[in-house]
Amino acid sequence: MSLWVVLAVNSITFGGLLFLLSAGFSLIFGLMKIPNLTHGSFFMLGAYVATSLIARGFNFWVAALVGGLFVAAFGGIIERLILRRLAGAELAQVLVTLGLSFMIADVCLMVWTGDPIRIDTPSGLRGATSLFGMGFPTYRLAISLVAVIFAVALWALLDRTRLGAMIRAGVDDPAMARVVGIRVSRLFTIVFCLGAWLAGFAGVMGGPILSVYPGLDQEMLPLALVVVILGGSGSLLAYVVLFLPMLIVLVVRPQGLFGRPAL
């Protein structure tokens, strides 16, 4: 019993981390129809920037926020100078963003070398927390809580604020939105920057668990794609669709669908 509970909590934790990554991809792809294949690189770049800030004495959370802001600014430049010129050209967007991901990976390799870098767990979240008579890593539980907070905040932003209404109007009917005075191009830049910030922030949050190393971007991007495809583009709770079956399997058959129980 205790084994599958621990595995379930760890799966939910990783699902929360994937939510932070895939939510940004879902916003960009679901609202702007841009298949942004640099999203995994944003995840890795944010983590690398945070490692440099932490090495210079910055607090973990400050490094996470600043690393995300750096990636958001970089994403805004890409959207303004490159992707905006390719509006409606999906194949060109795929090729350009894929090429940019290779370039970012090479720059990261030159600046931070090829050695894995571990981000230390924040001091206040080290150790274990007792739940249901069992100990769970406090930091992993914190990631799940952060994911829930961000999910609620994003839902409120898109469905309960004037900015969210303007974004939805710009997606549904850009021409009419421009007629009533909404600057659709600026809104789309804001959305792209928000998605990039979420990816960069997620990279920092995942650092204490995954470390940061070359190739991390190519490992995380397919997972984000799976989450968005299964849950549907634009869905902020898409990761539930991916990890709910996993949770059920862990409860019913801890050894896996085709595995054999240990003798």
Q: List, as one string, the DSSP characters of 100-135.
A: HHHHHHHHHHHHH-SS-BPPPPPGGG-SEEEETTEE
Question: Tell me, what's the pLDDT at 60?
Answer: 94
Question: Tell me, what's the pLDDT at 49?
Answer: 96
The mean of the pLDDT values for the chain is: 84
Half-sphere exposure of 8 (CA within 13 A, CB side): 16
Q: Which pLDDT band holds residue 135 (cuts at 50, 70, 90)?
A: confident
Pure H helices in 161-237: 162-172, 174-179, 184-210, 216-231
Q: Which pLDDT band holds residue 236 (cuts at 50, 70, 90)?
A: very low
4-17 pLDDT, tens digit each: 777 777 777 888 88
The CA-atom distances, in angstroms, between 202 and each of 22, 33, 61, 169, 206 are: 9, 22, 12, 28, 6
In the chain, the percentage of residues whose pLDDT exceeds 90 is: 39
C-alpha 200/C-alpha 46 separation (Å) is 4
Burial 124-146 (b: 16+ CB within 10 A, else e): ebeeeeeeeeeebbebbbbbbeb
pLDDT at 256 over 70: no
Question: Tell me, what's the pLDDT at 54?
Answer: 94
Question: Tell me, what's the pLDDT at 59?
Answer: 93
Q: Which pLDDT band holds residue 250 (cuts at 50, 70, 90)?
A: low
pTM, two decimal places: 0.84
In the chain, the percentage of residues whose pLDDT exceeds 70 is: 85
176-189 pLDDT, tens digit each: 888 888 888 888 89
2-252 is classed in which CATH architecture?
A: Orthogonal Bundle (1.10)
Which token pair is 169? Answer: 């109007």
Which segment of 36-40, 90-94, 169-173 scores lowest on mean pLDDT?
Answer: 169-173
Which segment of 70-74, 86-90, 119-123 scores lowest on mean pLDDT?
Answer: 86-90
> Average pLDDT, stretch 237-255?
58
Question: Tell me, what's the pLDDT at 228?
Answer: 73
Please give the helix or strand (H or E) that residue 137 lies within, else none. strand 134-137
Instruction: Say if residues 96 and 86 touch (Cβ distance below 8 Å).
Output: yes
Q: Which pLDDT band holds residue 254 (cuts at 50, 70, 90)?
A: low
Instruction: Say if residues 135 and 8 touch (Cβ distance below 8 Å).
Output: no
Q: Is the dihedral of CA 166, 93, 202, 70 positive or negative?
A: negative
Per-domain residue ranges for the chain? 2-252
Q: Which pLDDT band holds residue 171 (cuts at 50, 70, 90)?
A: confident
Q: Is the dihedral of CA 165, 171, 172, 178 positive or negative?
A: positive
Instruction: Say if residues 138 and 129 touch (Cβ distance below 8 Å).
Output: yes
